[in-house]
Amino acid sequence: MGFLNTILDIIFPSYCLSCQKRGPSLCLKCLSESPEAERESAKWIFPMYEYRHPPIKKSIWLLKYGGKKELANIFAEIMHGRILEELAEFNIMYNFREPLLVPIPLSKERYKERGFNQAELICKKLVEIDNNANFKLLKEVLIKPTNTLHQAKIENRAKRMKNIIGSFAIKDGGGNLELIKNRNIMLIDDVTTTGATLSEAKKVLKQAGAKKIIAFTLAH
């Protein structure tokens, strides 16, 4: 923790919203003991926790809108373990080797509004924890050129799909297609609901020549 953060923590101490212990807004222990995602997802999507569990819902909100960026580090700690578990199986079953980590992008407008992309923060920490042992980060290749409505504000899957279709693209130039071709990819996002966003991102990456694609999210 930097000096300024230490001072800020003394003036405005932060507490775990679940156990009230001093520290991050959701501590590692409370996160790891949260209920797992209950509802079924597509076989290639791996959500970790149940979104309806209040500390999960609240902490994801705090990460995105409440300035609690440090939560991305806590989420990444747990997600890294989960990724390794699945990779062990995928390596054997599908020869899923040397995967690339791809965060679900935000549109420029949304990025400006928020100042950061929460999926990218989680990815950065995942790479730091992993230290190039299992995967590499591929950033700013999958992009979101158009701004769409917040998926969370749209009620059904058909409408969510319609909202998100055509909103992702592979950034032109720089040999980006070569970077994706024949590569295994792990998409990272904060929440999946109907899977529409992840499916659309998968479609675009597949069209660009990616091999196998799986996705990890904090919650469903």
**Toward Zn ion, which CB reaches closer, 27 or 204?**
27
Size of the site for Zn ion (CB under 5 A): 5
Torsion angle, alpha carbons of 101, 68, 32, 120, to 10: 0
For every residue of 136-175, DSSP letters joined together read EE--SSEEB-S----GGG--SHHHHHHHHTT--EEPSSTT
Q: What's the CA gap between 200 and 204, in Å, rounded?
A: 6
> Smallest gap, in angstroms, from Cβ of residue 69 to Zn ion?
18
**Toward Zn ion, which CB reaches closer, 26 or 154?**
26
| 31 binds Zn ion, rule: CB under 5 A | no
Alpha-carbon torsion (37, 130, 137, 5), positive or negative: positive
**Toward Zn ion, which CB reaches closer, 18 or 59?**
18
Q: What's the CA gap between 121 and 185, in Å, rounded?
A: 18
| 74 binds Zn ion, rule: CB under 5 A | no
Q: What's the CA gap between 70 and 172, in Å, rounded?
A: 32
Q: Which of 9-17, 35-43, 81-89, 130-138 is the region at the interface with Zn ion (rule: CB under 5 A)?
A: 9-17
**Toward Zn ion, which CB reaches closer, 16 or 170?**
16
Residue with tokens 């998968």: 202
Pairing relationship of beta strands 136-137 and 45-49 according to DSSP bridges: unpaired
Q: Where are the alpha helices (DSSP H) in the chain?
A: 3-11, 28-32, 54-65, 71-94, 108-114, 118-130, 157-164, 176-180, 196-207
Q: Which of 25, 30, 120, 189 binds Zn ion (CB under 5 A)?
A: 30
> Smallest gap, in angstroms, from Cβ of residue 15 to Zn ion?
8
> Smallest gap, in angstroms, from Cβ of residue 21 to Zn ion?
5
Q: Which of 17-25, 59-67, 115-123, 134-142 is the region at the interface with Zn ion (rule: CB under 5 A)?
A: 17-25
Q: Which two tokens stand for residue 147?
A: 């701004």
> Smallest gap, in angstroms, from Cβ of residue 29 to Zn ion?
6
**Toward Zn ion, which CB reaches closer, 27 or 106?**
27
**Toward Zn ion, which CB reaches closer, 23 or 209?**
23
CA distances 134 to 14, 98, 140, Å, are: 33, 7, 20
Site for Zn ion in 127-146 (CB under 5 A): none
| 27 binds Zn ion, rule: CB under 5 A | yes
Q: Which of 30-38, 111-119, 124-132, 179-187 is the region at the interface with Zn ion (rule: CB under 5 A)?
A: 30-38
Q: Which residues bind Zn ion (CB under 5 A)?
A: 16, 18-19, 27, 30
